[in-house]
Amino acid sequence: MAARFTFQTVGKIQFGPDSVNLLPQEVAPLGRRALAIALPHPLSDGQQPAELIAGLCRGAAVETIEFASPPLGEPDLETVEQARGIRAEAGCDCVIGMGGGSILDTAKAVAGLANEPGSVRDCFDGRPVAAAGIPWIAIPTTAGSGAEATMNAVLCDPSRNLKLSIRDPRFLAHVIIADPRLTLSCPPRVTAESGMDALAQAIESFTSLGSNSLTDGLAFESARLIMGSLLAVYRDGANLEARSDMLLGSLLAGVALANARLGAIHGLAHPIGVRWNIPHGRICATLLAPVMRFNQAVVSEKYDRLSALACRPIIEHVEWMCAQLDIPADLKQYRIMADEVEWIVRESLPSGSLKMNPRPVSADDLREILRPLV
């Protein structure tokens, strides 16, 4: 008999080349004014994302207010609070996010906390979200975080070296518009690291304690798509077929992790990333094989299924992929000291992701995972 589970996902997904042109019909029912939070770099055709959003919204008689200070790295509390204030002052009925995971998590937090009586910091520090927000539309330009499909906004507080999630099912996007043409401008390094983040998310949600028959199917298909296309798109960024497979793989992993959660990779990655300012995807890629090796004894059947996809042992394949993508196999370049390892361990232990790891993880286990890497 199948185990009991709950599954939640976004209201609608528009997927495929040129699907961004469907934005007018999707935004029109949401109101007359939208806050646009967009990638501050041009797309492959030279157009600025904010201009693309504004032009498409004009076709639906929707005015856009551009947030002029989108995050260039991890979104912090101050940035989200600033955007939240601009939205309130302008009276925007919805939010449109176009960009990578940081942009999308910013848009998600602004929309999800639009009617919140307190501050962003209050919710970041653990207070439950009290009020429903406003709709938001997610338009990813990278294949990696899956943030378009998740119900948590990952934010950071640099003053405390903290990176945490604000989680609420009402944060799910009203619509996802996943157009692979928008990912053509993604540079090779970002393509590689965000792609390995997506693979880590697929594998972790596949093996998580929260996995179920629906998330297993999504995560396995995500891994198949990513393993079959990441190297191709890294070597030729104009390969639209590979870009499409990567974007779909990332999206499926996002839906899976939103319901199954993750594991020790992401439990460790958050404190390391915020303290040493390391791109999230790079950390996840480096941690992927060591954590998989730690988990192998308790998820061998699922790893066997992934190995069949790779036509070799899956951990060996992950290490080979990282080498092909020029992703370091360790963290030695960051010169993490022994006492700092203890800090990582302390900061990681309370993580919700760590609690969903298929094998229980102790402080000593974390030290053993980290020791060869630093």
pLDDT in tens, 269-280: 999 998 898 999
- pLDDT tens, 237-271? 999 999 999 999 999 999 999 999 999 999 999 99
**Strands in the chain per DSSP E:** 12-15, 33-38, 63-66, 94-99, 136-140, 152-157, 162-167, 175-178
3-class DSSP state for residue 64?
A: strand
Q: What is the rounded average pLDDT of the residues 207-222?
A: 98
Q: What is the mean pLDDT of residues 201-210?
A: 98
Q: What is the pLDDT of residues 33-90, one digit of tens each?
A: 999 999 999 999 999 999 999 999 999 999 999 998 888 788 999 999 999 999 999 9
Instruction: Spell out the domain ranges in the chain.
Output: 12-182, 187-373
What is the rounded CA–CA span in Å between residue 178 and residue 7? 21
* pLDDT tens digits, one per residue of 287-303: 999 999 999 999 999 99
For tokens 């979104």, the residue is 75
pLDDT of residue 308: 97
Cα 196 to its chain centre, rounded Å, is: 11
Its CATH architecture, for the domain 187-373, is Up-down Bundle (1.20)
The answer to whether the pTM exceeds 0.85 is: yes
With residue 257 as reference, give the H or E element that holds it: helix 240-260
* Residue 330 in tokens: 């360790």
Q: What pLDDT, on a 0 to 100 scale, did the predictor assign at position 1?
A: 67
The strands making up 12-15's β-sheet, listed across from edge to edge, are 12-15, 175-178, 136-140, 94-99, 33-38, 63-66
Dihedral pair phi/psi, residue 177, rounded to 5°: -115, 105
Residue 137 has pLDDT above 90, yes or no: yes
Residue percentage of the chain with pLDDT more than 70: 100
DSSP code at position 127: P
What H or E segment, with its residue span, contains residue 3?
Answer: none
Rg (CA), the chain: 20
**Pairing status of strand 94-99 against strand 162-167:** unpaired
| SS3 call for 166 | strand
Provide the pLDDT for residue 86.
Answer: 96
Q: If phi over 0 gives left and psi between -120 and 50 gives alpha, with beta otherwise, what is residue 354? A: alpha
CB 110 within 8 A of CB 141: no
Predicted confidence band of residue 208 (pLDDT cuts 50, 70, 90): very high
pLDDT band of 161, cuts 50, 70, 90:
confident
Architecture of domain 12-182: 3-Layer(aba) Sandwich (3.40)
Alpha helices in the chain (DSSP H): 23-27, 49-58, 77-90, 101-112, 120-124, 188-207, 213-235, 240-260, 264-276, 280-295, 300-310, 314-324, 338-348, 352-355, 363-370
Answer whether residue 2 shows pLDDT above 80.
no
Please give the average per-residue pLDDT across 195-215, as a whole number. Answer: 98
Per DSSP, 129 falls in state: P
pLDDT-based confidence at residue 158 (cuts at 50, 70, 90): confident
pLDDT score of 70: 81
12-182 and 187-373 in the same fold: no
179-195: per-residue pLDDT in tens? 999 999 999 999 999 99
The DSSP 8-state label assigned to residue 144 in this structure reads S
